[in-house]
Each structure stands twice: as structure tokens, then as C-alpha cells.
């Protein structure tokens, strides 16, 4: 479904009564050649979207596993420009969502980034450190170059804030299932279910991430969302053993 925007992909899945499996990997970990192998594997194992991290020196929202992946990627010389050039040349059908902090994009040039991302067939962008209140310029260029914007909602977000975030999100709403960093233990309680139900009541796709690390957890949270995002657990598996990574991806896909 290359060329499809994020929202289109999720709508197609919804019509088929399916939930999206969205794995996360870090671009350039340990190099872009290996990243290509991992993306091909994710495509083969029927990932619906892939969240591709852009390495940054100060990843505030990331836990130790993804921080280590970012360090390995930076050490190999991976940059935002190299990632976009890599994606432009990549022959892959699964839509790509870039997850990047603001600093690399600001240094690259905001409009230039969105223009080059469009040319690289990027379907959506997540900025974990971008607030809705400061997003006007980014949203404007995302719309101009037909790239979906995805904002994060925390379990502590107030109804007023949820409304703002949902309105600004054109791809899906990224529901942070924990109040902490990626890779932390997942907690699912009555308040979680009630709050995510409220977020979904606005009618836009909602995908759950942060803390989902096992097939059992993925299967469970898929009941409450349009898609499930798994990051740290996949990064860890790929780093330890590529073959184990494939088996783990299979188990997540089947569970979701």
C-alpha cells in the first residue's frame, strides 16, 4: 500500500474488520543496510504500517532500549538526510511513518523536510516533542505535501486537550498507554479503558503504543484500538538475534 496515507490504510483495515500492526524500528541501527533487511522482513510478515525512528542525541520520550538503538545509528553516521535518501530509493509496499524529534527537522528546514519526505513516499510523521499549540507551521506543511500528522495523547490528558489533539491528528491519534517512557511496564486498568473510549468517541483512528511488549498484551489492547504499536521489544529482539526477531514479529502479527 505504498503511496497510501496513514488514514487511508487504517480505513481499509477497518472495512475488513482488522486491526493495524505497527512495528517500530530505528533507522540506521546498526546501519541503513541492516535497516533495509528489517523493513523487508516487516513487509513479509504483513506489518500494516512501519514506524521508523530518526536517531537523535536527546530522545526524551525513549527508554534505554531505543536510546541505545539511536546511539548505534548515530555512531554509524545515520542522519535525517541519509534516511530520506534511503527511503526514496527503497522498494517497499508498507507505508512508512517517521518518528522524529523537532531538532533534526528544524535544522534540516521544516518545509524542505516535508517536501523531501513526500518525495521519499513517507506517509505520516510523529513528533513526540511537538505540542498542538506549537504545531501550526508543521501541520501547514504536512497538509501542503499530503503527509499525515500524528499527535500523542496521554492517559492524563484532559477532555479539552484530547479534543485539540484529535483535531490536529490527520493520520491517527497515538495513545500513550503509560505515563512514562517507551519500554516501561504496561498497565491496563478501568481508567485506561474509559479514557481511550473517550478518545475514540471523536471518530478518528486510535492506535496504542508505549509499553506493549508481548503478543498477549498486543492482543489485549487491540480490543480497544484501531492498531497496536510495538517498539522497544522489537528493537531489542532484532538487536539480540535477527532470526528471533522474525519469530517475534510473527507472534505479534498473529496476536493482533
Angle at 75 between CA 73 and CA 77, to 5 degrees: 75
Catalytic residue among 29, 62, 148, 217: 62
Q: How far apart are CA 238 and CA 38, in angstroms?
A: 8
CB 226 within 8 A of CB 206: yes
- Catalogue the long-range contacts made by 201-205 (C-beta closer than 8 Å, 24 or more residues apart): 202/162, 202/163, 202/166, 202/173, 204/166, 204/169, 204/172, 204/173, 205/7, 205/10, 205/11, 205/14, 205/171, 205/172, 205/173
Catalytic residue among 29, 45, 48, 51: 51
Distances from the Cα of 136 to the Cα of 71, 101, 126, 140, 219, angstroms: 31, 16, 14, 6, 36
Distances from the Cα of 242 to the Cα of 42, 99, 166, 237, 250, angstroms: 12, 22, 37, 7, 13
Q: List, in sequence order, every residue forming a beta bridge with 51; answer none if it has no partner.
A: 24, 97
The upper half-sphere exposure of residue 91, i.e. CA atoms within 13 Å in the direction of its Cβ, equals: 0
Q: Is 62 one of the annotated active-site residues of the chain?
A: yes
Active site residues: 51, 62
Amino acid at each position: 500500500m505504498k503511496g497510501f496515507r496513514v488514514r487511508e490504510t487504517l480505513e481499509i483495515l477497518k472495512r475488513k474488520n482488522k486491526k493495524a500492526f505497527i512495528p517500530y524500528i530505528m533507522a540506521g541501527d546498526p546501519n541503513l543496510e541492516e535497516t533495509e533487511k528489517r523493513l523487508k522482513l516487516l513487509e513479509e510478515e504483513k506489518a500494516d504500517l512501519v514506524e521508523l525512528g530518526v536517531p537523535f542525541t536527546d530522545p526524551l520520550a525513549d527508554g534505554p532500549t531505543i536510546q541505545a538503538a539511536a546511539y548505534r545509528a548515530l555512531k554509524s553516521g545515520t542522519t535525517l538526510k541519509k534516511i530520506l535518501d534511503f527511503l526514496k530509493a527503497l522498494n517497499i509496499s508498507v507505508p512508512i511513518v517517521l518518528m522524529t524529534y523537532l531538532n533534526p527537522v528544524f535544522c534540516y528546514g521544516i518545509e524542505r523536510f516535508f517536501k523531501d519526505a513526500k518525495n521519499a513516499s513517507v506517509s505520516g510523521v510523529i513528533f513526540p516533542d511537538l505540542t498542538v499549540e506549537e504545531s501550526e507551521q508543521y501541520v501547514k506543511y504536512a497538509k501542503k505535501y499530503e503527509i499525515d500528522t500524528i499527535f500523542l495523547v496521554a492517559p492524563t490528558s484532559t477532555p479539552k486537550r484530547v479534543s485539540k489533539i484529535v483535531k490536529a491528528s490527520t493520520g491517527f491519534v497515538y495513545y500513550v498507554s503509560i505515563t512514562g517512557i517507551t519500554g516501561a511496564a504496561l498497565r491496563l486498568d478501568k481508567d485506561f479503558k474509559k479514557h481511550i473510549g473517550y478518545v475514540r468517541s471523536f471518530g478518528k483512528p486510535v492506535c496504542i503504543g508505549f509499553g506493549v511488549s508481548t503478543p498477549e498484551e498486543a492482543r489485549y489492547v487491540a480490543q480497544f484500538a484501531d492498531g497496536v504499536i510495538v517498539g522497544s521489544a522489537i528493537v531489542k529482539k532484532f538487536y539480540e538475534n535477527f532470526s528471533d526477531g522474525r519469530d517475534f514479529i510473527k507472534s505479534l502479527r498473529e496476536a493482533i
